[in-house]
Amino acid sequence: MRKMRSVLCLLVLCCSVAFVAAQRSSNVTSKWQTLSGDAPKVIARGGFSGLLPDSSFNAYMLAQAISSADWVAWCDVQLTKDGVGICFPDIKLNNASDIDTLYPNRNNNYSVNGIPQTGWFSIDFSIKDLAPVSLKQGVYSRSPRFDGTPQQILTVQDVATQVKPPGLWLNIQHDSFYSQHNLSMRSFVVSLSRSVIANYISSPEVNFLRSIASRLNPRVTKRVFRFLNEDDVEPSTSQTYGSLVKNLTFVKTFAAGILVPKHYIWPTDSSLYLQPHTSVVSDAHKEGLEIYAADFVNDVPFAYNYSYDPVAEYLSFIDNGEFSVDGVLSDFPMSPSASVDCFSHLGANDKPQVTLQIIAPQGASGDYPGCTDLAYTKAASDGADIIGCPVQMTKDGIPFCLSSINLIDTTTAAQSPFSDISTTVPELQITDGILTINLNWSDIQTLKPVISTRYSDFRLSRNPKARNDGKFMSLADFLTFSKTANVSGIMISIENAAYLAKQGLGVTDAVMDALSTAGYNNQTARKVMIQSNDSSVLEEFKKSSYELVYLVDDNISDIKNSTILEIKTFAKSVVITKKSVFPSEDAFIIGQTNIVQKLQSANLPVYVRLFDNEFISQAWDFFSDSSTEINNYVLGAGVDGLVTEYPGTAARYRRNRCLAYKNLPPYMSPVQPGSLLGLMTVQSMPPVEPPSPVLDVSDVTEPPLPPVAKINPSNDDGSTARAPTTPPNGQSSVVASILMSSVAVLVAIFMVY
């Protein structure tokens, strides 16, 4: 246990405030729709099991450090063969511990609720046998790097006396199984109650809850009936849980509350979209039953309606205007703690608590195809300050908004009649692409947009129902829209200007003309930002009053003072990557640079990109929570703005009430960079990666843009685009039709996937 205690000091570093001294806060400003009227409880399943091994000392202590003041520690109770109660997430020990390595020949076969199972069961081991066993991460999609740190299996008494959580919840899942092997959960619970206060005891078995009723003080310990899936059969009554949930009057005779899977409250259809909520919460409250919702995790896909934002999901259960559950069971207790205290009962017009610019470079491109009317409309309604238009050029010289010059990236071009127009352009690192400059604007308008598939390798789709929704917008249309939209400004992004000039297309002139025509060149009501990673582009706009933004595409570890001085000659602000602020290795933060402070000291505001809600986009240090990640860049690094595909998440963060507290609660305090590394053995640490380069003057200086070439008009009437015999400044892609058909099929498969 001394090893465990020595790790505790490292755990505390995960927050900028030590847990012993952290000021917990309670939200007393709003009336909760719980049964008691109190704020919902945060129940940490096995501690902070979303990151650390379930039911480990470290997991419980991390939950203690960064959860709400009255959090409840959840313990799944298993019994050893000598009748000792241990906290372990499953009746089989091999999935979440190394017991199979220590005792390779002691696996066994048992029937559990009528289902044959093979594994290492607690009933075959004494507590002494389990002493050398170490816990490990049982969810394979989560990081195994904490497994090398020895973490003993804890008894229930260990959790109560060493962790000392404000509340303790014992879940008795398999009473009938243990009874079959001459072990009594009832005797264990009754004996435990003489020395340990269990605030909640849950079970999916009616008879067990009835058996302990006379031996426990209901004012001290609440009995909670746990519902399993609707089709599962409760062994005591032989009724399905789906039928029992319709008879809560009966449940009230032996329980004070119910614990249900979250889909009992907010069901989803087969496509993972929310259906109307059920009446189970109001039904439970009418019977005088508290109701708790289970199965909350941040790192698996949940209903698309939540846009991969865990806080949005929690709020739909605790603050939807119609009901509130009495508590949530979560693997990530930091998120519901912040949801209850910081984000609940916020209004769209609540005053921002921090100064933070929210930039949506393609609109709300996490919810709709980027650069479409729908994406821009949602971004404006979600609270974006700046909406952006990455400008591309058509064959007939029309500037329009699209994230890439390659239409295959963001449109249905690969499945269109233009699929035989393919070109390879080494200068742009494009192979077999369909370029915007090879189609007229009228041709492009016949295509459909495609929502971003940024994380498709991880099977994380974005709003599939809206995959091809929305209309493309010309730059002129975008400027007209933005004048009436509820935004404070626009950002025009320009790329590939030198290449386009060689093809006879002057993108900088087109942008200037469009801004002038729309009246943006002589107004101050809305900010105009011109962004480029090419200093020569920004030089073209130096005589304007626009905010010129230099985009540093690559991750950097530092920036020279001479480079900052050079940037100031052509830009007024800078955009850098997330890893240029918090460098990471294998998605673990290893430190923090001083780049933000250096640029700000030179009066250059710093915006950071790119923020997404998908948990795979965030370092482990941010607990698979987009709001936690934002908080660390705002409070921990002091950035001036965020470039995000989900502006609604950032806008809600900016309004959260915890930012106004005199003392920040632990769940709203920035993490200490590198602290998680202290929980790993040297052998388990991520491999050291080469440091990112230092940004030098030579990296930011570019030759002037070439003059726009004069290109002879094509002989066709321009009504239909055709593949050029020799693609401009590229390699010929005219190949046998059978080969091109194969390529088109492969591309189509990719786009569908």
Q: Please state, in angstroms and rounded to a whole number, the distance separating the CA atoms of residues 189 and 73.
A: 16
Cβ atoms of 482 and 379 closer than 8 Å:
no
Q: Which residues pair with 224 in a beta bridge?
A: 202, 257
pLDDT at 714: 54
Please state whether 690 falls in left (phi above 0), alpha (psi between -120 and 50) or beta.
beta
Does 471 score more than 80 pLDDT?
yes
Q: With contact defined as beta carbons under 8 Å apart, do 447 and 412 qualify? A: yes
CA 128 to chain centre: 41
Helix (H) or strand (E) holding 542: none
Candidates 689, 686, 630, 688; CA nearest to 659 is 630
pLDDT (average), residues 624-653 = 98
Q: How confident is the model at residue 187 (pLDDT cuts 50, 70, 90)?
A: very high
Residue 483 has what DSSP assignment?
Answer: H
- Predicted confidence at residue 554, as pLDDT, reads 97
Length of the chain as a residue count: 753
Pairing of strands 41-45, 167-171: unpaired
From residue 303, alpha-carbon distances to 107, 139, 313, 377, 622 in Å are: 38, 20, 8, 22, 21
Q: Which percentage of the chain shows pLDDT scores above 70?
A: 90
Rounded to the nearest 5°, which phi and psi values hold at 210? -65, -35
Tokens, residue 116: 């044959």
pLDDT at 5 over 50: no
Taking only Cα atoms into account, the Rg of the chain, rounded to an integer number of angstroms, comes to 29
Dump pLDDT digits (tens) for 215-230: 999 999 999 999 999 9
Query: Cα angle vertex 517, ends 516, 520, to 5°?
Result: 45
pLDDT for 746 beyond 80: no
- The per-residue pLDDT for range 515-540, each reduced to its tens digit, is 999 999 988 889 999 999 999 999 99
Residue-wise over 427-444: b if at least 16 C-beta within 10 A, else e?
ebebebbbbbbbbbbebb
734, 743 contact by CB (below 8 A) = no
Summarised one tens digit per residue, pLDDT across range 399-415 is 999 999 999 999 999 99
Token pair in block for residue 66 = 């960064």
Confidence tier at 713 by pLDDT (50, 70, 90):
low
**What was the pLDDT predicted at 31?**
82
Instruction: State the DSSP H helix or E strand holding residue 652, giving kind and residue range, or none if neither.
Output: helix 647-655
By DSSP bridging, strand 115-119 and strand 108-112 are antiparallel
Q: Could you tell me which residues come within 8 angstroms of residue 285 by beta carbon, excluding any fewer than 6 positions away?
A: 35, 291, 323
pLDDT category, 41, cuts 50, 70, 90? very high
Q: What is the DSSP letter of 274?
A: B
Confirm if 92 and 121 have CB atoms less than 8 A apart: yes
Residue 465's closest CA among 186, 685, 270?
Answer: 270
Nearest to 711 by CA among 436, 397, 442: 397
Residue with tokens 């899936």: 229
Q: Show the CA angle centred on residue 644, arms to residues 274 and 369, nearest 5°.
A: 55
pLDDT at 13 over 70: no
Asked whether the bond before 610 is cis by omega within 30 degrees of 0, the reply is yes
Q: Does residue 113 register a pLDDT over 90?
A: no
Contacts of 328 (CB under 8 A, 6+ apart): 40, 41, 42, 43, 292, 293, 294, 296, 314, 317, 318, 336
Q: Is the pLDDT of residue 73 over 90?
A: yes
- The C-alpha atoms of residue 357 and residue 571 are separated, in whole angstroms, by 17
Question: 349 pLDDT band (50/70/90 cuts)?
Answer: confident
Computed over every residue of the chain, the mean pLDDT equals 91
Q: Check pLDDT > 80 for residue 188.
A: yes
pTM, full prediction? 0.91
Q: Give the 3-state secondary structure of 361-387.
A: ECECCCCCCCCEHHHHHHHHHHCCCEE
Q: What is the pLDDT of residue 466?
A: 97
User: Does the pLDDT of residue 61 top 80, yes or no?
Assistant: yes
The CA–CA distances, whole Å, from 689 to 143, 413, 686 equal 18, 38, 9
Statement: residue 11 has pLDDT above 80: no
Nearest alpha carbon to residue 360 among 534, 490, 526: 490
pLDDT above 90 coverage of the chain, percent: 87
Average pLDDT over residues 163-178: 97
Q: Where residue 348 falls among pLDDT bands split at 50, 70, 90?
A: confident
